[in-house]
Amino acid sequence: MEPVTPPRRVTIVDVAQHAKVSTTAVSKVLRNAYGTSPTMRAKVRKAIEELGYRPYAAARGMRGQTYTIGVMLPDIRNPFFPEILDGITDSFQDTDYQVLLGPGCNGVAAEARVTEAMVDRGMDGLVLIAPVSPRSHLERIAGLVPTVVIGRHGPSAAYDTVTDDDLAGAALVIDHLTGLGHRRIAHIEHHETDPIRLIEMPNAVRADGYRQAMHAHNLADQINIVSTTYTQEGGYLGAQQLLARPQRPTAIFAGSDFTAMGVLDALAEAGLSVPGDISLAGYDNTTFAALGQVSLTSVDQAGHHIGANAARLLQDRITDRHRPTTQIKLSPTLIPRRTTAPPP
Amino acid sequence: MEPVTPPRRVTIVDVAQHAKVSTTAVSKVLRNAYGTSPTMRAKVRKAIEELGYRPYAAARGMRGQTYTIGVMLPDIRNPFFPEILDGITDSFQDTDYQVLLGPGCNGVAAEARVTEAMVDRGMDGLVLIAPVSPRSHLERIAGLVPTVVIGRHGPSAAYDTVTDDDLAGAALVIDHLTGLGHRRIAHIEHHETDPIRLIEMPNAVRADGYRQAMHAHNLADQINIVSTTYTQEGGYLGAQQLLARPQRPTAIFAGSDFTAMGVLDALAEAGLSVPGDISLAGYDNTTFAALGQVSLTSVDQAGHHIGANAARLLQDRITDRHRPTTQIKLSPTLIPRRTTAPPP
DNA sequence: TTGAAAGCGCTAACAG
DNA sequence: CTGTTAGCGCTTTCAA
């Protein structure tokens, strides 16, 4: 057997003929526009129902809206991002907008490709989650399409932003650890060199928060940072480096839960127990952290809340492109679990 | 400060004027169509470059192609799906197609909404990953747009399929466990009642594979199934039910890694050690299973391979809508880790 | 090999 | 309140 050629789509013209009205009328009913009598609405609705009509987005796109929101997700594997995504999709659930995701955006080039593709497809709004693209690119995109950027510190005149307070999050961890009696607290950061990203990226802000919090606790002389990446491997290598240094830390603040997973591997390999020998905290409160076998102390960012706020900002911006940009900063909370305890 | 109104997009007309040729010429060069001289191609390419022209997908869509592939992912949280997705996107990397994901497709209604939205947006091809929709809906969609279905057993005349051999996967697990000396091997399945899904869904096939393999090992009298869901909670509840039954199993085959995570929780709560008291195997070989702290024996499905095959089938079908449908079945492999050992 | 022109389905001026 | 009509940017006959 073989698939057959698809039948011609039902168009607004078919509906108009069936309902014995003009196409304008149909269009207006579709968009709940001004100037339609209840009688006409009923007739049109009935025809739409009977014919199974659905508006063709490409044609609508040619006249302005596509009713599509694009979300750029840097890493679909990071269990933190789905929360944000849910927050976004839930907010658009009862609207005519459909949310579509751009996958595989690892790196500046891939991000550019995906964002351009979204612009080309006439999307009505964009949410960029933790983009690594240079600011100039973000602002260019935002100049073309209403855009909200999540997880990038530093305000912009071109786009709205939603961030979690990474400075406060890092402080939560250090407060928790010092409260338990730790002094030799090390940090594993995601390496960053670009001067703008050094200010704007969450990883850089977390490292900064670590430094500031250590100062605040009069532990400036204990500051001990190793610079790898926010990956399991980065955590593994980072922990090995830390263990090789003269004074072994009694606690490690890993910049992300992924990193913490690698730290756990390295510590297990070195025959060290957690939290017996070393305490460990992560960041993002991912599913990994919550697993009973892992039970990692972590910082929760309320991803759903972040996404919902981004969606609201985006809808506002779509409504009024000229309103001043808004920056929303949300507060993280600490989730203490079994990987942190008083030092030995 | 406030964002400004975006400048008018560069169109094919601008390019034509700039290059001093017709719009037809530009269109042909864009699509590498027949009937363009090298001189003309060069002129047009130069103009495109200088003006930074990008084709507007909505306009293209009105005449046929949108150069967009839609992928429906049921659960973005399942760490198995990103592998498939990578396989798909990698295959489309060097083409003009852009892959976009439909998020939040949990349940029949949500799936319908997303698939319809993709059809409305004139997508050129669809990949549906492990859809739960009734077969009739899948075939209707496939009648409208070239479609490949992943992870749904049972051939269709309307769409191509790529599946992993779940029957063989279940057998791998049972072979492994019996090889270790287990006889009382229980299974936790995802509850299914719909008669068609009972044949087509991977979870149902895995349960079937468990039964067949137990028979093959002359352990038909030991068959012990509990029916919950493929979630952490489902695993937790399933394990509790198993422990409450008269003869405690020496091994549990959980239908998914998610399920296995819940089993681990329940066993820990009951004071049972893994694999000391009970061996445990999962399915999907997700990131969870690979975590050092967990180290779960699992079945690997070669997700990247699945995705790549689906992409190839889709491209073939887009090229020729009338070719007979193809069914591809891939073979899983067992990844033994530390949660399985000989019975006590 | 090249270009003129029609039209895809929809929206929005504008006229009635 | 309702309908006529002119495009949106692109592809595709068809004629030159």
CATH number reported for the structural domain that contains residue A125 in this entry: 3.40.50.2300
Does residue B63 fall inside a structural domain? no
CA-CA distance, B99 to A283, in Å (whole number)?
Answer: 31
For residue B30 the two structure tokens come to 């864009």
Q: Based on the structure, what is the number of domains in chain B?
A: 3
Does residue B176 fall inside a structural domain? yes
Greatest mean pLDDT among A147-151, A290-294, B72-76 lies in: A147-151
Say yes or no: B149 and B75 in one domain: yes
CA-CA distance, A331 to B92, in Å (whole number)?
Answer: 40
Which residues of A in 34-93 have their CB below 7 Å from strand C's atoms? 53, 55-56, 59-60, 62-64
Over range B116-126, report the average pLDDT: 96
pTM above 0.85, yes or no: yes
* Residue with the two structure tokens 């969606």: A311
B181 or B32: which leads in pLDDT: B181
Which one of A120, A294, A314 makes the best mutation probe of the B interface by having the most chain B beta carbons within 10 Å?
A120
Say yes or no: A135 and A207 in one domain: no
First vs last C-alpha separation in chain B:
71
Residues A187-214 have pLDDT tens digits of 999 999 999 999 999 999 999 999 999 9
Distance from CA of B52 to the nearest CA of A (A): 12
For residue A314 the two structure tokens come to 């985006």
CATH number reported for the structural domain that contains residue A39 in this entry: 1.10.260.40
Does residue A126 fall inside a structural domain? yes
Does residue B121 fall inside a structural domain? yes
Does residue B336 fall inside a structural domain? no
Does residue A243 fall inside a structural domain? yes
The residue type at A131 = P
Confidence band of B76 (pLDDT split at 50, 70, 90): confident
Does residue A325 fall inside a structural domain? yes
- Positive or negative torsion for Cα A216, A218, A220, A224: negative
The residue type at A337 = R
Confidence band of A106 (pLDDT split at 50, 70, 90): confident
Residue A159: list chain B partners with CB under 8 A. 3
Say yes or no: B98 and B117 in one domain: yes
CA-CA distance, A160 to A157, in Å (whole number)?
Answer: 8
For residue A37, what are the domain limits?
12-54
Count interface pairs A-B at CB distance under 8 A: 178
Over range A214-243, report the average pLDDT: 97
Looking at A33-42, A174-183, A273-282, which range is the least confident one?
A: A33-42
For residue B342 the two structure tokens come to 């000989």
CB-based contact A318:A124 (threshold 8 Å): yes
Residue B86: list chain A partners with CB under 8 A. 104
Say yes or no: B144 and B50 in one domain: no
Say yes or no: B255 and B184 in one domain: yes
Q: Looking at the partner chain, which of A66, A79, A292 has a beta carbon nearest the beta carbon of B264?
A: A292
Confidence band of A9 (pLDDT split at 50, 70, 90): confident
Say yes or no: A32 and A91 in one domain: no
Query: What is the phi/psi pair of residue B260, to 5°?
Result: -60, -35
CA A80, distance to chain mean position in Å, is 8
In whole angstroms, D3 C1' to A64 CA is: 22
Question: SS3 of A236, please?
Answer: helix
CB-based contact A222:A175 (threshold 8 Å): no
Q: Looking at the partner chain, which of A58, A143, A323 has a beta carbon nearest the beta carbon of B4?
A: A143
CA-CA distance, A118 to A124, in Å (whole number)?
Answer: 9
Say yes or no: B291 and B197 in one domain: yes
Say yes or no: A268 and A192 in one domain: yes
Say yes or no: A193 and A44 in one domain: no
What pLDDT, on the 0 to 100 scale, is given for residue B64?
81
HSE, CB side, 13 Å, CA atoms: give it for residue A91: 21
Residue A143: list chain B partners with CB under 8 A. 3-4, 6
Say yes or no: B105 and B155 in one domain: yes
Q: Name B184's Cβ contacts closer than 8 Å, sequence gap at least 6.
A: B222, B224, B247, B248, B249, B250, B251, B343
Say yes or no: A119 and A180 in one domain: no
Q: Where are the alpha helices (DSSP H) in chain B?
A: 12-19, 23-30, 38-51, 57-62, 81-92, 108-120, 135-144, 166-179, 197-200, 202-216, 232-244, 257-269, 287-290, 303-319
In whole angstroms, D4 C1' to A24 CA is: 9
Cα A299 to Cα A149, A259, B8, B184, distances in angstroms: 21, 13, 44, 42
Say yes or no: A296 and A174 in one domain: yes
Does residue A292 fall inside a structural domain? yes
What pLDDT, on the 0 to 100 scale, is given for residue A39?
87
